[in-house]
């Protein structure tokens, strides 16, 4: 590393762990990746508790960092703080700023080393409660990256497309509301475990026209019967030779994202800036869906989790502020 | 059998075959069932073509009927007439009465026996086409059973709950419009192949209160974000200890059926009589959902497929009319 790290930051999710050595200002000095997500921990001699498994993964991936920098503080976000994680980090209620997340870190003591500080998830209480875990840190990263550019608006909508897409309304730096759509996971379940998959040719090149067709159906009167009905058109358009098997995956993707954005649009305030954060290809699909629904083109960001961890670590006093 | 059958009628679907020996008026004289649905045909010596497999299943289940009554006409409906079936029976356009179905039977010649007459499916053409295959015969059976009781209204809505629930608008005995909802299959995919299944205790006793709670969410302002969003509440209500794992399957069922009926309700004309036909437990769930949405209590029927096959066979002149 070019300089000593100021913070070791872990994005520890269900299927993988990303570790970042962060320098001043949250600059990424070094990064590493392991497949040992929370749902894929190692077993073997000496690993007789979940804690031992988490510690073994951490040492395996970052043992040299920990040995070389024994006094560097450590922070983590994601499913590592779930009931199936290293230690359950309770949820933080809304409204929530980075500073509130920072006061609610769960501290996991590690014999012979620095403790691990785990960022809480967010809980939106109510008749239909909502939760996030990991995305609160991405949002903190989005807000910090906008602030670093002097472009943080007072109010904005942050969309985090993924398996479970999150949409968070932010006011004065605080998450005040969020919604979850299981769009990504529903897409996978429909294409792999229903009759729709029988005629779909998965792995085909992206078909923007088929995607746009799905969007139009979902966002027009044709979609009035709702997604439980429109998805059947993947099959009927195939049976009537109006949609090739190769085009069906993107048509279904357009239908689902189209229904999601159509439901969301009425509660997006007029002129509210939208920022999307996530995998580029998926963000572009959502950007197309937003534009098709008459919403302004979103700003698109990626890779902001280390910056979010830095921001929260800084607010918690784990790192020096200059 | 008490009397010679006038018609041998087959309800040959994806997962099973039901055979009926029908007497005058469509009375069921005898019935048999085989697991050899279209997607589960036998293989073995002498079965070297799909046709041979279908013939072998037919002989295995009804060989004695065919031998004892070699001149009795034979009719079938269902996936046996699909592209994966014995012979593809083309779709009939709307509007469609039993008499139109009867003029469009596909005839499969059988060496040394009576031909098999296969009922066409229905195709609703349009930008979002819709198809049914098998349900057209159930609808014919529903209409015939109502007519037999002198209670056939001029206009009605027929609901056929199932893996793919169909809703058919009938005017003057003709199907003039229909919609499909993949509700049953989506339920199975969500509960077996998404994160929701992890906390659900499947096979629990029916929980009417949880079902009603799902209905209320879907049919109120809480459901405004749509089904892609509300289904996540199965998990969040579980995480916040507001919904036990045992109650989650019926809550999800209520959510999905609630969204389906909420989408359907605006296009059900005021005062339009509704008849449900299908498995009793499922029909009762839909009846509850209809009532919760302010629609009149439906008439519930079951087991009308043989009567529908009789009605179509009669209209085709396969059986004598007295």
> Greater confidence, A204 or A190?
A190
| A116-118 and A74-77 strand pairing | parallel
DSSP characters for A11-39?
EE-SS-EEEEEE-GGG-EEEEEEES--TT
- In chain B (322 residues long), the average pLDDT of successive 10-residue segments reads 91 96 95 95 90 96 96 97 95 97 97 95 96 98 97 97 97 98 98 95 94 98 97 96 97 98 93 96 97 94 97 95 60
Q: What digits encode the pLDDT tens for the residues A34-70?
A: 999 999 999 988 899 999 999 999 999 999 999 999 9
Q: Is A265 helix (H, G, I), strand (E, B) or coil?
A: helix
CB of A257 less than 8 A from some CB of B: no
The count of CB pairs under 8 A between chains A and B is 142
Please confirm whether the linkage preceding B295 is cis (ω < 30° from 0): no
* Dihedral, A55, A57, A60, A66 alpha carbons, nearest 10: -50
Q: Provide the 8-state DSSP code for A25.
A: G
Residues in chain B closer than 8 A to A85 (CB atoms): none
CB burial of residue B230 (10 Å; 0-12, 13-18, 19+): buried
Q: How far apart are CA B164 and CA B132, in angstroms?
A: 9
Q: How far apart are CA B37 and CA B161, in angstroms?
A: 20
Residues in chain B: 322
Please judge whether B260 and A128 are an interchain contact, meaning their C-beta atoms are less than 8 angstroms apart.
Answer: no
Does residue A74 contact residue A115 with C-beta atoms inside 8 Å?
A: yes
CB of B57 less than 8 A from some CB of A: no
Q: What digits encode the pLDDT tens for the residues A286-295?
A: 999 999 999 9
Give the list of residues 6+ apart from residue A48 with CB closer than 8 angstroms, or none. none
Q: Cα(first)–Cα(last) distance of chain B, in Å? A: 21
What is B181-301's CATH number? 3.30.420.310
Q: Is B54 helix (H, G, I), strand (E, B) or coil?
A: helix
Coarse DSSP helix, strand, coil percentages of chain B, rounded to the nearest 5 percent: 40, 20, 40
CB of B264 less than 8 A from some CB of A: yes
Cβ neighbours around B111 below 10 Å, total: 5
Please judge whether B263 and A179 are an interchain contact, meaning their C-beta atoms are less than 8 angstroms apart.
Answer: no
Q: What is the mean pLDDT of residues A260-267?
A: 96
The confidence band for A110, taking pLDDT boundaries of 50, 70 and 90, is: very high
The confidence band for A322, taking pLDDT boundaries of 50, 70 and 90, is: low
Q: Cα(first)–Cα(last) distance of chain A, in Å? A: 21
Residues in chain A closer than 8 A to B240 (CB atoms): 123, 125, 129, 131
**Residue A127's closest chain B neighbor by CA?**
B222
For residue A306, pLDDT over 60 is answered with yes
Does residue B39 contact residue B84 with C-beta atoms inside 8 Å?
A: yes
- Cα–Cα distance list, A254 to A231, A240, A289 (Å): 10, 20, 8
Does residue B53 contact residue B9 with C-beta atoms inside 8 Å?
A: no
Please judge whether B194 and A183 are an interchain contact, meaning their C-beta atoms are less than 8 angstroms apart.
Answer: no
Domain extents for chain B? 181-301
The 3-state secondary structure of B267-293 reads HCCCCCCEEEECCHHHHHHHHHHHHHC
Does residue B248 contact residue B261 with C-beta atoms inside 8 Å?
A: no
**Residue B240's closest chain A neighbor by CA?**
A129
> Greater confidence, A19 or B296?
A19
- Identify the pLDDT of residue A321: 64
ipTM of the prediction greater than 0.90, yes or no:
yes
Cβ neighbours around B318 below 10 Å, total: 21
Residues in chain B closer than 8 A to A194 (CB atoms): 182, 185-186, 188-189
Instruction: Report CA A221 to chain centroid distance, whole Å.
Output: 31
Q: How far apart are CA A34 and CA A13, in angstroms?
A: 10
Residues in chain A closer than 8 A to B242 (CB atoms): 129
Q: How far apart are CA B129 and CA A288, in angstroms?
A: 25
Residues in chain A closer than 8 A to B132 (CB atoms): none
Nearest Cα to B194, choosing from B232, B229, B244?
Answer: B232
Residues facing A89 on adjacent strands: none
Residues facing A174 on adjacent strands: A171
Percent of chain A with pLDDT over 70: 99
Residues in chain A: 322
Please judge whether A226 and B259 are an interchain contact, meaning their C-beta atoms are less than 8 angstroms apart.
Answer: yes
Which of the residues B13, B82, B128 would you substitute to probe the A interface, choosing the one with the greatest number of A C-beta atoms within 10 Å?
B128
């Amino acid at each position: 590393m070019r300089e000593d790290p100021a913070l070791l930051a872990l994005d520890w999710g269900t299927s993988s762990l990303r570790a970042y050595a962060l320098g001043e200002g949250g600059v990424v000095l070094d990064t590493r990746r392991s497949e040992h997500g929370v749902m894929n921990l190692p077993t073997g001699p000496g690993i007789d508790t979940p804690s031992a498994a988490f510690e073994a993964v951490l040492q395996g991936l970052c043992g040299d960092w920990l040995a070389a920098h024994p006094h560097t503080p450590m922070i983590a976000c994601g499913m590592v703080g779930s009931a199936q994680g290293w230690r359950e980090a309770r949820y933080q209620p809304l409204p929530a700023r980075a500073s509130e997340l920072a006061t609610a870190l769960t501290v996991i003591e590690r014999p012979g080393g620095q403790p691990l500080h785990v960022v809480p998830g967010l809980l939106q209480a109510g008749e239909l409660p909502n939760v996030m875990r990991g995305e609160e840190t991405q949002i903190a990263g989005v807000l910090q990256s906008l602030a670093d550019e002097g472009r943080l608006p007072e109010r904005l909508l942050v969309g985090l497309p993924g398996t479970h897409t999150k949409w968070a309304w932010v006011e004065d730096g605080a998450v005040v509301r969020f919604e979850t759509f299981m769009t990504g996971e529903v897409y996978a379940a429909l294409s792999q475990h229903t009759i729709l998959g029988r005629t779909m040719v998965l792995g085909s090149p992206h078909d923007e026209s088929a995607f746009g067709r799905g969007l139009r159906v979902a966002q027009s009167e044709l979609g009035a019967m709702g997604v439980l009905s429109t998805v059947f058109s993947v099959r009927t358009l195939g049976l009537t030779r109006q949609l090739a098997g190769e085009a069906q995956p993107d048509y279904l993707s357009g239908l689902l994202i189209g229904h999601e954005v159509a439901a969301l649009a009425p509660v997006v305030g007029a002129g509210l800036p939208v920022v999307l954060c996530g995998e580029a290809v998926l963000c572009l699909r959502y950007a197309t869906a937003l534009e098709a629904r008459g919403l302004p083109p979103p700003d698109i960001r990626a890779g902001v989790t280390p910056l979010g961890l830095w921001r929260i670590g800084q607010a918690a006093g784990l790192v020096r502020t200059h």
